[in-house]
A and B are shown apart, each in its own frame.
Chain A
Amino acid sequence: MTSLSVSHLFVKFGDRDVISDLSFDLAEGEIASLLGPSGCGKTTLLRAIAGLIQPSGGTIRFGSQLVGVSSVVLPPSKRGTGYVPQQGALFPHLSVAKNIAFGLDREIYSKSEISQITEEMVALIGMQGFEDRAPYQLSGGQQMRVALARALAIKPKLILLDEPFAALDAALRDELRNEVIGLLRKLGSTAILVTHDREEALVSSDRVILMRDGRVAQSGTPEEVYESPQSAEIAASTGDVLTLPADKSSTGAISYPLAAQRFAHSSRPSGYVVIRPEEIKVMKEGGIGREGVLTHIDYYGHDAMLTIDLKDDLLEDLADTSTIIRARVAGPAEFNVGQKVYLEHVGPIRYFSLP
């Protein structure tokens, strides 16, 4: 396993920059998620790292080895990356065992070594007894496991997973993800996981790299990107958000609709605060909280999202700003539509000034 360093990378499709001036580093044994909407360039970045696409500028290093620059490119066959594309892409004409052994070079390994490694890999993914099955006889989850074993068998410097769980149904997906990530951690693999599922990115990686339009929008630990987003847009890409108008006084105190110090009615907002729905405490009894009327409940089972109309005359003249609050409460929700509720914001105040 190795560390990875991508520096000022550019990739062009025709005249369009799909990746532009993108840099990040990954330490040995670190697992990173590339998170972003479709078309943001995350798969392209992964393929550039694997050597399947030629960058138009910048460098890619595995440890101290330069593998990709615009002029000289180490071909994918010489890079030693374990590439696991969507849905596994198993070779349909080869059995499970032969798929796993596919990358083991006969000039390097003896026949017995190859079968030994294959056996180890089969055991690693818990598929003993399936060695002679054809890919079409396997379930989606099993195919992913074999694809992973095939990638791991060549002792790759780096594991690259391109939305490996996207095609699986929800229950299997979580189970397999935990299993695969656990396995990669046990082996100390440096790995990159491409995903558009924000929960998957947060739960499975040491570091989340948020991508937007071919650039890194923010990179950090899951806690950092979730708790301290650098913009409302970034906050929205890792979870649900509530954006409320806010004002910052000369003393630095921030007033907003749910703040202890209420938003002054005469002032125009100088910015906004970004709040997560789970940071709002919803109470049935009046107290310190702000009063509102519960207008809608989205019931999810394990939790519920409440829509609350803030009864606040002060805000009515601010046409553009929302007086609708969405708050997450643990299910089963003991609330009824139409009832009065009292809200309190418990969490960090993330203030962003308007340009």
Chain B
Amino acid sequence: MKSRTFLNSFGLKALVVVVLALLLQPLAYLFIRAGEKSTSEILTLLTRQKTLEVFLTTLLLLVIVVAINVVLGTAMAAGLHYVKIPYPRLFLVASILPLAIPSYVFTYTWKALFPSMQGLWAGAFILALSTMPYMILTVLIAFQKIDLGIIEVGRSLGLSKVALFFRVILPQVRRSISAGALLSGLYVLSDFGAVSLLNVETLTVSISNLFKSSYDRGAASVIGILLFLAAAIFIAFETTLKGRDFETRGNEGFQNSIRRIGSPAHSLITVGVLGSYLICAVLIPFYVLISRFLANPTAVEVTDLITAAAATISVAALGALMAFALSLPLAFLISQGKSGFATTSERLILISHALPGVVVGLALVSFGSRLGSLYQSIYLLAFAYAVLFLAKSVASTSSALALVSPQLKEVAATLGKSRSKIATDVVFPIALPSMSLGVLLVFLTAMKELPATLMLRPTGMDTLATQIWSAASISRFNEAAPYALILVLIAAIPTFILTLPGTAKGTSASEKKVSYL
């Protein structure tokens, strides 16, 4: 039962429409640019051998990485949750830690060890390493949410442990596996750094090449639209595939009572699989970064380091704040309960998931020249971050607002408070800690962003990401190391926050964590 009268507001809806317009603007410019080409030109471009090859490569990469993730990620999550292993918390934190390492840093550390690494399978390997934590974390949280009573009933009905896993547990986490697949798939589609360093020509690389070599923005826009459509279709596919929502009774807090499987064989296999993953995705990158840094600690001037770090922090912070501000109207609308308008807007915001950094960068470059002084400013780059991370921001802001129960707002209203007073005296004070955590996480994600940063950064400005990129792409690994170390260490902060037990109060805590990804 929702109170319809006093919280619904026309103004809020108008603001949401403005935000959606801002979000869709880059996309619109992409279409306008592409539209400048004649139909036959577009058709030639789309049907030529090269485009088809690139499209197939991208698709193949997507399928391989998602398949590896679904199998190994689910298995590792199951191992972390159900098998008795030594130092379980250490294993948990370590297996989420690769989230802090951008794909281009992964690639560069591996290439520093194996210089000949390249091609589709190398790309799939690196991208599987970088996206695995998405799968592990989403599925693990789903395992934790399963009602223990159901498992006990399954056992009492005579199911073996294996049958129990496949017939009772797996069907309940299917949605989360699907969600994890979506996250890692979108990451693959939008990745630019890893595939570019490994000479795998995917759509993102094509767009960048077309843009750089010939300044043919029309052609780049056509491929950009193709990439956007691929991502949109992937999202739609996942949405229809994941099927019905299970009503699960959360039972966080009773997790201690779960009986882990204790047989040595199980533990050995689990530790073996998790261990191999951690060697590839944590030990090797850190080993390379640290050894390269120690090999030549003065490869980079300290002032250059500080300048790049400062530039990274300021533009990422600006972007995170913009994303937060843009997310507020819709988050408020969602927190007031489901309405047709809110649901539609929420779906449209998902488009920001389907806009890879390359595409947003290209679109903003395309109409940036009309913006006068804004073009080539950090504001345009920050806006690109805001567009890219708007869906994340809406998710975290609305879950923060959901912490404020409607009852509190109603009580405040009966005590004579106007709507704006309710917002300032009740809603924000309660939601602020959680909101700031969301802003922090978007900020740290923006710090790692590469392709849009490369395209939109003001001339002469270098961020940590672009410095790593320019050094690594010409194999000057010692120079990239200090920048990469700083970036990874800063980006590791949210990883630890995500794995902290009880970061947020309430049963929605774990869902909230997923929404931050």
B423 at the interface (CB under 8 A from A): no
A226 at the interface (CB under 8 A from B): no
Q: Is the CB of B3 within 8 A of A52?
A: yes
Q: How far is the CB of B405 from chain A (nearest CB, A)?
A: 7
Q: Is the CB of A93 within 8 A of B414?
A: no
Given contacts A75-B6, A93-B430, contact A13 B1 (CB under 8 A): yes
Q: Is the CB of A76 within 8 A of B413?
A: yes
B416 at the interface (CB under 8 A from A): yes
Q: Is the CB of A47 within 8 A of B3?
A: yes
Q: Is the CB of A77 within 8 A of B5?
A: no
A83 at the interface (CB under 8 A from B): yes
Q: How far is the CB of B450 from chain A (nearest CB, A)?
A: 40
Q: Is the CB of A83 within 8 A of B411?
A: yes
Q: Is the CB of A91 within 8 A of B415?
A: no
Q: How far is the CB of A73 from chain B (nearest CB, A)?
A: 6
Q: How far is the CB of A182 from chain B (nearest CB, A)?
A: 23
A295 to B413, CA, bound (A): 56
Q: How far is the CB of A66 from chain B (nearest CB, A)?
A: 16
Q: How far is the CB of A67 from chain B (nearest CB, A)?
A: 12
Which single residue of chain B is at the shortest CB-CB distance from A153? B415
Cβ-defined partner of A76 (8 Å) among B1, B6, B407, B408: B6
* CB-defined contacts of A80 to chain B, threshold 8 Å: 416
A349 at the interface (CB under 8 A from B): no
Q: Is the CB of A54 within 8 A of B408?
A: no
* CB-defined contacts of B425 to chain A, threshold 8 Å: 102
Give per-residue flags for B428-464: 1 if the beta carbon is below 8 A from chain A beta carbons, else 0. Answer: 0110000000000000000000000000000000000
B4 at the interface (CB under 8 A from A): yes
B72 at the interface (CB under 8 A from A): no
B412 at the interface (CB under 8 A from A): yes
Q: How far is the CB of A22 from chain B (nearest CB, A)?
A: 17
Q: Is the CB of A89 within 8 A of B4?
A: no
B418 at the interface (CB under 8 A from A): yes
Q: Is the CB of B416 within 8 A of A53?
A: no
Q: Is the CB of A102 within 8 A of B415?
A: yes
Q: Is the CB of B415 within 8 A of A103?
A: yes
A51 to B426, CA, bound (A): 19
* CB-defined contacts of A150 to chain B, threshold 8 Å: 411, 415
Q: Is the CB of B430 within 8 A of A52?
A: no
* CB-defined contacts of A240 to chain B, threshold 8 Å: none
Q: How far is the CB of B60 from chain A (nearest CB, A)?
A: 49
Q: Is the CB of B426 within 8 A of A91?
A: yes
- On chain B, the number of residues with a Cβ less than 8 Å from chain A's Cβ atoms is 21
* CB-defined contacts of A160 to chain B, threshold 8 Å: 414
Given contacts A44-B1, A85-B411, A91-B426, contact A52 B416 (CB under 8 A): no
B304 at the interface (CB under 8 A from A): no
Q: List residues of A (200-233) whose CB comes within 8 Å of B's CBs.
A: none
A78 to B418, CA, bound (A): 9
A81 at the interface (CB under 8 A from B): yes
Q: How far is the CB of A150 from chain B (nearest CB, A)?
A: 7
Q: Is the CB of A93 within 8 A of B429?
A: yes
A147 to B411, CA, bound (A): 10
A292 to B1, CA, bound (A): 50
Given contacts A47-B3, A93-B430, contact A78 B410 (CB under 8 A): no
B417 at the interface (CB under 8 A from A): yes
Cβ-defined partner of A91 (8 Å) among B1, B3, B408: B408
Cβ-defined partner of B412 (8 Å) among A75, A92, A102, A147: A102
* CB-defined contacts of B3 to chain A, threshold 8 Å: 47, 52-53
Which single residue of chain B is at the shortest CB-CB distance from A150? B415
Q: Is the CB of A76 within 8 A of B405?
A: no
Given contacts A91-B426, A93-B430, contact A77 B418 (CB under 8 A): yes
A51 to B411, CA, bound (A): 11
Q: Is the CB of B413 within 8 A of A75?
A: yes
A5 to B416, CA, bound (A): 22
Give per-residue flags for A148-173: 1 if the beta carbon is below 8 A from chain B beta carbons, else 0. Answer: 00110010000010000000000000
* CB-defined contacts of B411 to chain A, threshold 8 Å: 83, 85, 89, 91, 147, 150
A82 to B410, CA, bound (A): 11
Q: How far is the CB of B144 from chain A (nearest CB, A)?
A: 24
A91 to B429, CA, bound (A): 10
A161 to B405, CA, bound (A): 18
Q: Is the CB of A51 within 8 A of B430?
A: no
* CB-defined contacts of B1 to chain A, threshold 8 Å: 13, 43-44
A54 to B6, CA, bound (A): 9
A168 to B341, CA, bound (A): 39
A54 to B5, CA, bound (A): 6
Q: List residues of A (58-102) whose CB comes within 8 Å of B's CBs.
A: 73, 75-83, 85-86, 89, 91-93, 102
Which single residue of chain A is at the shortest CB-CB distance from B405? A89
A52 to B405, CA, bound (A): 14
Cβ-defined partner of B407 (8 Å) among A75, A89, A105: A89
A50 at the interface (CB under 8 A from B): yes
Given contacts A44-B1, A51-B6, A75-B6, contact A85 B410 (CB under 8 A): yes
**Residue among A75, A78, A80, A81 with most chain B CB within 10 A:** A75
Cβ-defined partner of B413 (8 Å) among A52, A73, A86: A52
**Residue among B3, B413, B414 with most chain A CB within 10 A:** B414
A237 to B328, CA, bound (A): 47
A82 to B411, CA, bound (A): 8
A78 to B407, CA, bound (A): 18
* CB-defined contacts of A43 to chain B, threshold 8 Å: 1
Which single residue of chain B is at the shortest CB-CB distance from A147? B411
Q: Is the CB of A76 within 8 A of B4?
A: no
Known A75-B413, A76-B413, A83-B410; 17 more pairs at CB < 8 Å: A52-B5, A52-B414, A53-B4, A54-B4, A73-B5, A77-B413, A77-B417, A79-B414, A81-B414, A89-B411, A91-B412, A91-B426, A93-B429, A102-B415, A103-B416, A151-B415, A154-B415
> What are some 29 contacts across the A-B interface (CB < 8 A)?
A13-B1, A43-B1, A50-B414, A51-B414, A52-B413, A53-B4, A53-B5, A54-B4, A73-B5, A76-B410, A76-B414, A77-B413, A77-B415, A81-B414, A83-B410, A85-B407, A85-B410, A86-B407, A89-B408, A91-B411, A91-B412, A91-B430, A92-B430, A102-B412, A103-B415, A103-B417, A147-B411, A150-B415, A154-B415
Question: Which A residues are closer than 8 A to B by beta carbons?
Answer: 13, 43-44, 47, 50-54, 73, 75-83, 85-86, 89, 91-93, 102-103, 105, 147, 150-151, 154, 160
Return the 3 tightest CB-CB contacts between A and B, nearest first.
Answer: A103-B415, A83-B414, A54-B5
Question: Which B residues are closer than 8 A to A by beta carbons?
Answer: 1, 3-6, 405, 407-408, 410-418, 425-426, 429-430
